[in-house]
Amino acid sequence: MMLSRLLSTVSPDVAAILDRALEERELHTAEAARLLTAEGTDFHALLRTADWARERDCGADVSFVVNRNINFTNICYVGCSFCGFARHREDADSYDRPMEEILEKCRDAVARGATEVCIQGGIHPGKDHTHYREILEAIKAEFPGLHIHAYSPEEIDWGHRKSGMSLADYLLWLKEAGLGTIPGTAAEILDDDVRRVLAPNKIRKDRWVEIITTAHRVGFRTTSTLMYGHIEDVRHVAEHLALLREIQKETGGFTEFVPLGFIHELNRLYQKMAARPGSSMAEDLRLVATARLVLRPHVANVQVSWVKMGTKLAQMALLAGANDFGGTLMEESISRESGSQHGENLPAEQIRRLVREVGRIPVERNTGYDILRRFDDPALDPPSLEPGSDRELRGPERWRVERHTHSTAALGAR
């Protein structure tokens, strides 16, 4: 076996760890930390082993979701040092979107074939739990079949503390209004020493775990995330992955793991607090590969963030353990405001082309990873357009033609 021959050339300790992974045995935190430092032949063996594991876990499919991000306000006073998105109320470029504008963005998303809207915002001091519910109710009144993936644990914490309800009752109250799934963001690194530097006013590790596990217990599924490339070390990353694995073994509520590289250019953490300038290419691939090996078989889906990595590195990550290309996004403010240069919108046709280029099969999924459409035959692919082209920006008629299999009326009526 080619992989066995490759492992015979690597460092003995790394070979032993990868052998454990090949035997589908659980990796320890110290072993994960060692993989996160792999270089040279060790690095290549790690990637190859993770790719083998991905093939065993998920086959040749690469999934993606047609979705739209909607940030309803950028007014926030939490003060995270890594954030370039937040504004204060008096800032000239602050915004608090009226409900009609949020609904118009939903209409645009549905017209483009979206099955999901992802809604998050800043922690606005003038808002309370009722505002979160009102957004859900307004969207569901017009689009009862549109999946709403919304409200980070930080937002859940804010609304819960305003509500006077128990946490479980508050989450069920949002579910009743139409909340479908919850993003597992606001995790950054689940180590309080690191969190005190990144965001001293943000919820601590135990509160994040409490919100996520309670959400799972009352019937929500959530994503799981990790932000890396700033002040953390490999021990923090390994312990974070192990904690996610333990949560998943207990609740089974995570749909996927999403590694999020730190975007450094336009925030205080890099400019004034001596954080690293984001991750290297090797670090990105090591994390994707290590996550695949640490989290399997409990978390089957490892997603790439093309808005953080860029599309070419995201393609490389598909060869290093990842099986999901994330979403079309259509609009992405948070990474852009911190300095991301990789755009905000990646049409489904473009994702299909990128997946084909690495020899894999694109499949469109919904938020819960149910497959909606397979694209086995590349001859049936429509022409792909580069994101940001005039036609892509000015051609809503293109979406009506190329996404004709999605009916706005049908989506609203389901």
- Using one digit for the tens of pLDDT, what is the confidence trace for 305-359? 999 999 999 999 999 999 999 999 997 444 443 433 445 679 999 999 999 999 9
Say how far residue 78 (Cα) sits from the centre of its chain.
21
- Annotate 141-150 with b (16+ C-beta within 10 A) or e (fewer): eebeebbbbb
Instruction: Please compute, for residue 239, the number of CA atoms within 13 A of its CA located in the half-sphere on the CB side.
Output: 12
Q: How do beta strands 324-327 and 361-365 pair?
A: unpaired
Mean of pLDDT values over 250-256 = 98
pLDDT > 50? residue 3: yes
Contacts of residue 3, defined as CB under 8 A and 6 or more positions apart, other chains included, come to 22, 48, 49, 52
Closest CA to 262 of 289, 283, 241, 244: 283
- Using one digit for the tens of pLDDT, what is the confidence trace for 132-166? 999 999 999 999 999 999 999 999 999 999 999 99
SS3 228: strand
| Predicted pLDDT of residue 328 | 95
| Predicted pLDDT of residue 403 | 37
| Predicted pLDDT of residue 334 | 44
| Predicted pLDDT of residue 408 | 33
List residues bridging with 392 in a β-sheet: none
Mean of pLDDT values over 72-98 = 88
| Predicted pLDDT of residue 344 | 60
Structural domains in the chain, CATH included, are: 2-56 (no CATH), 59-413 (3.20.20.70)
| Predicted pLDDT of residue 267 | 62
> Sheet of 147-150: strands edge to edge?
67-71, 116-120, 147-150
pLDDT band, very low/low/confident/very high, at 278 (cuts 50, 70, 90): confident
| Distance from C-alpha of 58 to C-alpha of 399, rounded to nearest angstrom | 30
pLDDT > 60? residue 55: yes
Closest CA to 245 of 28, 35, 43, 36: 28
Mean of pLDDT values over 293-311 = 96
Residue with the bigger pLDDT between 270 and 44: it is 44
- Using one digit for the tens of pLDDT, what is the confidence trace for 171-214? 999 999 999 999 999 999 999 999 999 999 999 999 999 999 99
Angstrom CA distances, 207 to 77, 154, 157, 203, 232, stand at 19, 9, 8, 6, 20
pLDDT band, very low/low/confident/very high, at 83 (cuts 50, 70, 90): confident
Mean of pLDDT values over 49-57 = 97
Does the pTM surpass 0.85? The reply is yes
